[in-house]
Amino acid sequence: MNATETLIQEVIVTTRHPEGRVHLAPMGIRRHGETIVIAPFRPSVTLDHLVASGCAVVNYTDDVRVFAGCLTGRRNWPLTAAARVPAPRLAEVLAHSELELERIEDDPVRPRLICRSVFAATHRPFQGFNRAQAAVVELAILVSRLDRLPADKIAAEIGYLRIAVEKTAGPRELAAWNWLMERVRDPHSALSSASADR
């Protein structure tokens, strides 16, 4: 398998339903040049919005609070208009790409949305890797699967991820970690707002 087939980048996808509702969700995307593949598991608001509107924005951010926030009912991140598509982008991003939906490879579990980047911009320089940010993203993925993973696996992974947080986190990473840990301790906390759109 070719490496570009497997590289997945963890981003925030913003979508806007034609009737106006905006949605933010962490997603893993694959890029092949100007083609970007988004693969949401059904059911998915991102999928519904993308199919209805034909567009989305991929936000490249190192603010892991947005990833943790989307999973813990904190979706109220500042947005701004995109240049070419009706879906907004996050106001604070390293870079973003504006997408138009080209076609759907349908699937009952996880359709693949094949999109084309029609506009891209860089706003701030990449600051280097940070282990706590990676640990928060890993914990966010665990939290998004809490109902499907065995408790001992979750506890073991948190024990390992915590080391990077304790050694390398800044205030944003610590806040994001703590929001996710609240959810691990009480999986039903803030559930209603976690699924809320604006």
Ligand X SMILES: Cc1cc2nc3c(=O)[nH]c(=O)nc-3n(C[C@H](O)[C@H](O)[C@H](O)COP(=O)(O)O)c2cc1C
Residues near ligand X, by CB under 6 A: 10, 25-28, 39-41, 44-46, 67, 137, 140-141, 144
CB 153, min distance to ligand X, A: 17
Q: Which is nearer to ligand X, 70 or 82 (CB)?
A: 70
Sorted by sequence, the CB contacts under 8 Å of residue 65 that are 6+ apart come out as 74, 172, 175, 176, 179
Cβ(98)–Cβ(84) below 8 Å: yes
Cβ(13)–Cβ(37) below 8 Å: no
CB 146, min distance to ligand X, A: 11
CB 22, min distance to ligand X, A: 12
Q: Which is nearer to ligand X, 58 or 85 (CB)?
A: 58
DSSP, residue by residue, 155-196: HHHHHHHHHHHHHH--HHHHHHHHHHHHHHH-TTTTHHHHT-
Round to whole Å and give the CA distance between 178 and 152.
20
CB 44, min distance to ligand X, A: 4
Round to whole Å and give the CA distance between 87 and 57.
6
Q: Which residue is nearest to ligand X (CB)?
A: 46
Q: Which is nearer to ligand X, 46 or 59 (CB)?
A: 46
CB 24, min distance to ligand X, A: 8
The 10 Å CB-count burial string (b at 16+, else e) for 57-77 is bbbbbbbbbbbbbbbbbbbeb
Q: Which is nearer to ligand X, 7 or 83 (CB)?
A: 7
Q: Which is nearer to ligand X, 29 or 83 (CB)?
A: 29
Structure tokens at 128: 């280097």
